[in-house]
Amino acid sequence: MAIGLGAKQFTKIVAKSEAAFGTPASFGDANGEILFSDAIGAIDPGITVDLGDDKTVGVRSSRLSNLATITEKAPTVNIAASNISMRNLPLFFDALASITPTDNTGIYEWAYVPSQTDVDTAKTYSLYATDGVQKFIADGCVPTEITLSADSSGLLQGGVTYAARNVAATSDTSTAAVSAQPFVPGRLFKLYTDTNYPTKAGAGETQYSSYLTAWTFTLTPGLAPVMAMSGSVNFGGVAYTGALDATLELTIASNASATSTFPFSAAGTQKFLRIQGLTADGYGLTILGSFVVNSVTTIGSESDGMVLNTVSLSAAYDTTGGAASIKVYVDSPLSVRP
């Protein structure tokens, strides 16, 4: 029989990149980026203990106190979806490909353009988390899933699940301060359709202007811990062991434009899409993609008197132009990784 240790809530989390995998960053200073995250988050130590209770022990109790053995440590850090700032968001994607941002006159473009023919170079992070009393450092962290979403009445939301190498208590006290955090209202996002793979700047495309009310984008990059025999109960490294995948769900008004652009008969067809939201200062998010329509369904409820459709799409490599499946650009005030 195996048991797992439970989760711990945290109220503050600070991120730093690591010099090398297996070497946790130090947090006893003012460096690092505070992740502007919901107070609801969890670090699961992921410790599996074999209690040895399948043995004959010679007494009525089913297990002996000296037979318990830790067989695995596979921690996870989950940052629940909440308002995500354009200063924080680049860090999720930088871990996937070690991005060098481009300076566009004080606005730094972090471009996540995953390779289609080779694996990207991952960059592990250390995360300092505290619940106000206990303090922990999770090291060797890499995102295994990133979710972004927006609706017309709120701010851009972001959440991430990290796989971590190890979680340990620390005496470090991070004095990192919160920097300016630009947020993007959901109403600023626009959806564009194209006949070819889109560009960030946009050219020859058509804006879908007939009531996009919400969207959700989920990325699973294929990055995961390698549970190899490495002489340690912690995993031995991280690697791209899975496929690059992403899904997009659109909520649109069920009207003539929906029938024209996303009819029920669109299932199985390719769509080139660009979703972009920028603030007046130029900060924001752009998602480009080649997608295949999975389904178009009608939602039974109404919003502001409108019947709504849900369009479900999956990212698919563009075999005609060979451009990519998805690309993500974050325009941020963050100039370098912490």
201-237 tens-digit pLDDT? 988 899 998 889 999 999 999 988 887 777 777 777 7
Selection from 7, 12, 15 nearest residue 139 by Cα: 15
What was the pLDDT predicted at 58? 74
What was the pLDDT predicted at 104? 95
Residue type, 97: A
Alpha-carbon gap, residue 141 to 43, rounded angstroms: 12
What was the pLDDT predicted at 19? 92
Kindly list the domain boundaries of the chain, sorted by start residue: 2-332
pLDDT above 60: residue 5 = no
What's the pLDDT band for 10 if we cut at 50, 70, 90?
low
pLDDT above 80: residue 83 = yes
Better-predicted residue by pLDDT, 9 or 107 = 107
Q: For 191-195, what is the mean pLDDT? A: 95
Selection from 110, 331, 311, 338 nearest residue 210 by Cα: 311
pLDDT above 70: residue 57 = no
167-179 tens-digit pLDDT? 999 999 999 988 8
Average of per-residue pLDDT values in the chain: 88
Selection from 309, 287, 286, 312 nearest residue 299 by Cα: 309
What was the pLDDT predicted at 198? 93
What was the pLDDT predicted at 8? 58
SS (HEC) of the chain: CEEECCCEECCEEEEEECCCCCCCCCCCCCCCEECCCCCCEEEECCEEEECCCCCCCCCCCCCCCCCCEEEEECCEEEEEEEECCCCCHHHHHHHHHCCCCEEECCEEEEEECCCCCCCCCCCCEEEEEECCCCEEEEEEEEEEEEEEEEECCCECEEEEEEECCEEEECCCCCCCCCCCCCCCEHHHCEEEEECCCCCCCCCCCEEECCCEEEEEEEEECCEEEECCCCCCCECCEEEECCCCEEEEEEEEECCHHHHHHCCHHHCCCEEEEEEEEECCCCCEEEEEEEEEEEEEEEEEEEECCEEEEEEEEEECCCCCCCCCCEEEEEEECCCCCC
225-277 tens-digit pLDDT? 887 777 777 777 788 888 999 999 999 988 888 888 998 888 999 999 999 99
Selection from 276, 283, 287 nearest residue 327 by Cα: 287
Selection from 259, 242, 252, 254 nearest residue 312 by Cα: 252
pLDDT above 50: residue 63 = yes
Instruction: Tell me the pTM.
Output: 0.90
275-334 tens-digit pLDDT? 999 999 999 999 999 999 999 998 766 666 678 889 999 999 998 876 789 999 999 999
What was the pLDDT predicted at 317? 93
Better-predicted residue by pLDDT, 68 or 18 = 18
